[in-house]
Amino acid sequence: MRLTFAKTLQLAVTLLACAFLFIPTMQSVLAGLTANYFRGISSGLTLKWVAQVWDLYADSIFLSIWLAIACLACTLVIGIPAAYGLARNPGRVSRILEEFISLPLAVPGLALALALLQLYGSMKGFRTSWTFILVGHVLYTLPFMVRSVLAVLSAMDLKTLEDAAASLGASPWRRFADIVVPNAMPGILAGALTVVTLSIGEFNLTWMLHTPYLKTLPVGLADSYASMRLEIASAYTLIFFVIIIPMLVAMQWASQRAQRIK
Amino acid sequence: MSSATFVRLCFVPLIAFTLAFLALPLVRLFFASSESSAGWGIYLEILTTPRYLQTLVQTVLVSLAVTAAALVISTTAGLFLARNRFPGRGILLAILTLPLAFPGVVIGFLIILLGGRQGLVNQLTSGHVVFAYSLFGLFLGYLYFSIPRVLLTVMAATEKLDPALEEAARSLGASPARVVLDVILPGLAPSLVAAGAIAFATAMGAFGTAFTLATDIDVLPMVIYTEFTLSANVAMAAALSVVLGIVTWVLLVLARNFSGATVAGGG
């Protein structure tokens, strides 16, 4: 690579942007592992803060993982058949339906949460249970699952495959289970990783829907930012990074793999 | 069971869920906005009450500034990374895209580490520069989550540009600057408009970052939150949510019609 003036300028902007994104991340990792942040690294490295976070917030971490798994199950059950239906009936009604279920991508989570609270806030049993948060997470992640599966299904010749199977006497259910689902697998995998990653990190809806007894990981993070010392807040953020970054890498890998099918 | 019946059944879970937890709640939210003494006049009240109007203007201005900055930075970096191969490129790309899944609250905290009272800048400058809780801190927070979104859109679009056009321009004697201005940027324009709309809409609705940083700054999501929780002014919170939701939705529909890009998500 030869560096001209223009390229040097581009490189400088790129490096500055990297520094802006990377330095605070590193600060947070270091602060979570440093015995005393104000005295700096020279005060020694420790896992004390990580252990304290575990004592204080382990419940929130497990709740988030549980919610993500439940959310994944819901989006699979609702999303795969829906994507199949949309792929089989491409047309205006399908377009409108797809547009409508994608609203949670555009409308801020805060507004959706308010809407849910307006309608279901007075149903105490539902309002205070974890399923209320689950509804919010499914609402937000479902469009990602539907679109991811739909993209793969639309790229292949579904009709020919199904006609072949039907001519051999396969029932609609057999065709769905034995042809549609296996062929859609790269889309399902990419969608699943996206759903889990987004569910674990979801804050905007969850903050409005949660109760004091049901804190998810990001809600716990907000709580620690407001009321804990910097080292604990940082150690908690570090734990979050350790969970979310591998998920994100896997998600990007799976999405690229699914896109190559098109 | 016939094939058509089976396909119809496939829609049942989706329609049941969407009706119960998306359509009906949104309708309820819309009607809740009229349940104050002002009735539907509440939407007029947003424009005539200085505090709400100022909030609206401030939110739009911050979002516009973030959009402009993110477009400049991410287009420059995106073009550079898409067109050059060098050792370390993969690492730079990873650093620039990983924050995509950071929730807004975490980004708020990262800005505090950078510009808060105990932040890096304040330590380096012997204790006088605190900007995390100001409008500038909010701007940086929004910029933080906008850079990866715009970058991914720009890089995807750059890969679809035809390199032959640039070679043709160069062989005709165009300078590198002319090639960028007359060939590359026009080619990227639809994607840039789409990426800009996504960045703007995300910044307008970003709650998590504002929640950590903007305790004293009136931006729309924070005002909705305080109207709802502190003032119990449900109708106004609902009305502002409706306005915010419509604005962001319309922008993203326009963005998609422009280029088919959909890198959305909450900030």
Q: Please say whether the structural domain A58-260 has been given the CATH code 1.10.3720.10.
A: yes
Same domain, B77 and B137: yes
Q: What is the mean pLDDT of residues B6-29?
A: 94
Q: Which amino acid, residue B241?
A: S
Same domain, B12 and B46: no
B265 lies in a domain? no
Same domain, B26 and B141: no
B264 lies in a domain? no
Higher per-residue confidence, B48 vs B216: B48
B134 lies in a domain? yes
Q: Which residues of chain B does A172 touch, with a Cβ-Cβ cutoff of 8 Å?
A: 1-3, 5-7
Query: How many angstroms separate the CA atoms of A2 and A245, rounded?
Result: 33
Q: Is the pLDDT of residue A110 over 80?
A: yes
Residue ranges covered by each domain of chain A = 1-46, 58-260
Q: What is the pTM of this model?
A: 0.90
Q: What is the mean pLDDT of residues A84-90?
A: 91
% of chain B at pLDDT higher than 70: 96
Asked if residues A75 and A139 have their Cβ atoms less than 8 Å apart, the reply is: no
Residue B101 to residue A198, Cβ atoms within 8 A: yes
B166 lies in a domain? yes
Total domains present in chain B: 2
Same domain, B19 and B52: no
Specify the pLDDT at position B259: 65
B76 lies in a domain? yes
- CA nearest neighbour of B154 among B183, B192, B100: B192
Provide the 10 A C-beta neighbour count for residue B93: 19
Label residue B2 by pLDDT band (50, 70, 90): confident
Label residue B161 by pLDDT band (50, 70, 90): confident
B201 lies in a domain? yes
Query: How many angstroms separate the CA atoms of A198 and A202, rounded?
Result: 6
Q: Which residues of chain B does A27 touch, with a Cβ-Cβ cutoff of 8 Å?
A: 110, 113-114, 120
Same domain, B139 and B230: yes
pLDDT tens, B18-61? 999 999 999 999 999 998 888 898 999 888 999 999 999 999 99
Same domain, B4 and B45: no
Same domain, B25 and B140: no
Locate tokens 């400058």: which residue?
A: B125
Asked if residues A251 and A197 have their Cβ atoms less than 8 Å apart, the reply is: yes
Specify the pLDDT at position B263: 47
HSE-up of residue A116 (Cα within 13 Å, Cβ side): 31
**Which residues, in sequence order, are CB contacts of B72 under 8 Å at separation 6+?**
none
pLDDT tens, A129-146? 999 999 999 999 999 999
Same domain, B24 and B57: no
CATH number at residue B164: 1.10.3720.10
Residue B95 to residue A22, Cβ atoms within 8 A: yes
Q: What is the mean pLDDT of residues A248-257?
A: 88
User: Domain of B16?
Assistant: 1-32
Asked if residues A234 and A32 have their Cβ atoms less than 8 Å apart, the reply is: yes
Residue A106 to residue B32, Cβ atoms within 8 A: no
Asked if the C-beta of B225 comes within 8 angstroms of chain A's C-beta atoms, the answer is: yes
Closest-CA residue of chain A to B208: A204
Label residue B260 by pLDDT band (50, 70, 90): low
**Which residues, in sequence order, are CB contacts of B107 under 8 Å at separation 6+?**
B99, B141, B144, B145, B208, B209, B212, B267
Locate tokens 């942040």: which residue?
A: A37
Residue A111 to residue B224, Cβ atoms within 8 A: yes
Asked if the C-beta of B3 comes within 8 angstroms of chain A's C-beta atoms, the answer is: yes
B135 lies in a domain? yes
- The number of residues in chain A equals 262
Specify the pLDDT at position A36: 83
Same domain, B234 and B143: yes
Q: What is the mean pLDDT of residues B249-253?
A: 86
Q: What is the mean pLDDT of residues B182-191?
A: 88
Same domain, B175 and B80: yes
Specify the pLDDT at position A67: 96
- CA nearest neighbour of B236 among B10, B41, B24: B41
B223 lies in a domain? yes
Same domain, B76 and B127: yes
Asked if the C-beta of B42 comes within 8 angstroms of chain A's C-beta atoms, the answer is: no
Residue A14 to residue B81, Cβ atoms within 8 A: yes
Question: Cα separations (Å) of A48 from A30, A231, B203?
Answer: 13, 10, 37
Same domain, B115 and B3: no
The DSSP element (H or E) to which B240 belongs, if any, is helix B234-259
Helices (H), B120-175: 120-124, 135-160, 163-171
Asked if the C-beta of B89 comes within 8 angstroms of chain A's C-beta atoms, the answer is: no
